[in-house]
Amino acid sequence: MKKISSKKLTEILNYKGCIIETEISDIVTDSRIAKKGDLFIAIKGENFDAHDFVAEVIKKGVELAVVERKVEGVDENRQIIVSSSLEAFGKIGAYNRSLFKGKVIGLTGSAGKTTTKEEIKFLLSLFGKTYATTGNFNNHIGVPRSLCDMDMSADYAVIEMGMSAKGEIEKLASYVQPDMALVTNVYPMHIEFFENFEGIAEAKAEIFKSLRPHSPALINEDTNFANILKLRAQGNAAKIYTFGKSEIFKEEQGEYTANIQGTIVKFRLSDNAEHYLYNALCALNVVAILGLDVTKAAAEIEKFGALAGRGKVSKLKFSKGIYTLVDDSYSGQPEAMKFAVKSLDKMPCQGRKIAVLGKMAELGDTSKQQHIDVGQVVANSKIDIVVGICPEMKDMLAQIKDGRQTFYFDNKDGLSDFLLNKLLQNNDIVLIKGARYSSKLYQVADELLKQGS
């Protein structure tokens, strides 16, 4: 980020009190990494209150602290008191973004956001320096952090935004002020926080409210409630573009021929699963809309591979030989779960195909039916063995009635040992997927990767 004077900081935060004259070179929310020259933003979380560490960071040399209440024992001239530390963080991020001279692409969606973001970054990097959100820093803390960390010399910035409730995308997008806003898809993720499925589409469409003047919107024309997305983009977007399967008019031996915004291109993917095709189409459309050489991008896109925890394929060694791990353990959203199962079903395999599936979270009253639906997709596949983890997955396993092997675990405890020492055989493929924090299957994937390296 560009350095900010304390005077400018008071203007950004509309603070009327007195503070010391200084210059801020970085912003931190973690007291453990705070250092001289930083601004410390004290955020109260579920398990901690950063106000408790203000005195400590000031002693470390931190110049100023943004707080929601006066901290005793700390020089008043080093405290900027605000009503919301999170909003203050957002305002500072928005200020830094306003100084950025390149193009900012803002994206949201129910599934695949991070992979799509990385694929867009990969392609845009062919044409100029490109910055993107680190990891999945896409929430009320992560987006301001991303904006403050922007490489100000970059030509492009790709900022990911996530949400679990109405109004969150609108707030984040107001900081991002995108030059292009895109929605990858709409699925019933976090549906327990909404009255209905349509409400999720409305929440995703909030990204269009903060589009900069003369800026376009990009929408998945095949997703749920695409009509709502297009309607909400009207009046905010200078032009509405779409992407989807209608762009593909030929597929032969893994090579796609597509019409990307008027340019005919041919491309191959490292993985031909449906969700990876949509990610690719989205990224190629971003390139085309920005007026860049989409033919060049299409020629390079096969080099982009799946990310760790998001479908990355690894060949691993164990006592009985070699097996393939498909690590898709980052999330367990229903549609992504179905995509992963279908992708495993299509994979060539000399051994057996094994699906290890953990519970799906935040589905509210639809949870039982969503788990049943996934089970029906599995039942209609040629996957050889299915392992369900967590009680919710009993409904999934109940759909498999053709005598195939199924196993059930209450939780992930003992699962790694079971897979490595009892179930897996040479040349097997095992898919691991489930809600990250509810099923914790990522820990199982990590253990398999560690032991097989």
Alpha helices in 125-233 (DSSP H): 142-148, 168-176, 197-204, 226-233
Mean pLDDT of 179-183: 98
- Boundary-marking domain end, from 268, 284, 303: 303
Q: Give the per-residue pLDDT at 103.
A: 98
Segments forming the whole domain that contains residue 257: 100-303
Q: Give the per-residue pLDDT at 188.
A: 78
Please give the model's pTM, rounded to 2 decimal places: 0.84
- Residues 299 and 320 occupy one common structural domain: no
Question: Is 190's pLDDT higher than 80?
Answer: no
Residue 127 is assigned to a structural domain of this protein: yes
Question: Is 115's pLDDT higher than 80?
Answer: yes
- Residues 298 and 351 occupy one common structural domain: no
Q: Give the per-residue pLDDT at 4.
A: 93
Q: What percent of the chain has pLDDT over 90?
A: 81
- Residues 396 and 296 occupy one common structural domain: no
- Residues 281 and 198 occupy one common structural domain: yes
The CATH number of residue 40's host domain is 3.40.1390.10
Q: Give the per-residue pLDDT at 262.
A: 97
Cβ–Cβ under 8 Å, residues 137 and 303: no
- Residues 231 and 121 occupy one common structural domain: yes
Distance between CA atoms of 257 and 47, rounded to whole angstroms? 51
Residue 222: count of CB within 10 angstroms of its CB: 14
Q: Which range, of 214-223, 294-303, 400-409, averages the lowest pLDDT? A: 400-409
Distance between CA atoms of 268 and 272, rounded to whole angstroms? 8
Q: Give the per-residue pLDDT at 307.
A: 79
| 221 burial via Cβ count (<10 Å: 0-12, 13-18, 19+) | middle
Domains in the chain, number: 3
Alpha helices in 191-245 (DSSP H): 197-204, 226-233
The CATH number of residue 398's host domain is 3.90.190.20
- Residues 119 and 21 occupy one common structural domain: no
Residues counted in the chain? 453
Question: Is 135's pLDDT higher than 90?
Answer: no
Mean pLDDT of 403-414: 93
Take residue 17 and report the two structure tokens written for it.
């009190």
Range 224-234 burial, b when 16+ CB lie within 10 A, else e: bbbebbbebbe
Question: Is 189's pLDDT higher than 70?
Answer: no
- Residues 376 and 355 occupy one common structural domain: yes
The CA-to-CA distance between both ends of the chain, in Å, stands at: 38
| 408 burial via Cβ count (<10 Å: 0-12, 13-18, 19+) | middle
Distance between CA atoms of 58 and 271, rounded to whole angstroms? 50
Q: Give the per-residue pLDDT at 447.
A: 93
How distant, in Å, are the alpha carbons of 143, 200, 252, 371 from that of 160? 7, 17, 33, 28
Residue 90 is assigned to a structural domain of this protein: no
Encode pLDDT of 212-264 as tens digits: 999 999 999 999 999 999 999 998 999 999 999 999 999 998 899 999 999 99
Encode pLDDT of 143-174 as tens digits: 999 999 999 999 999 999 999 889 999 999 99
- Residues 118 and 204 occupy one common structural domain: yes
Encode pLDDT of 36-74 as tens digits: 999 999 999 888 899 999 999 999 999 999 999 999 999
Question: Is 306's pLDDT higher than 80?
Answer: no
Q: Give 32's contacts (C-beta < 8 A, 6+ positions apart).
A: none
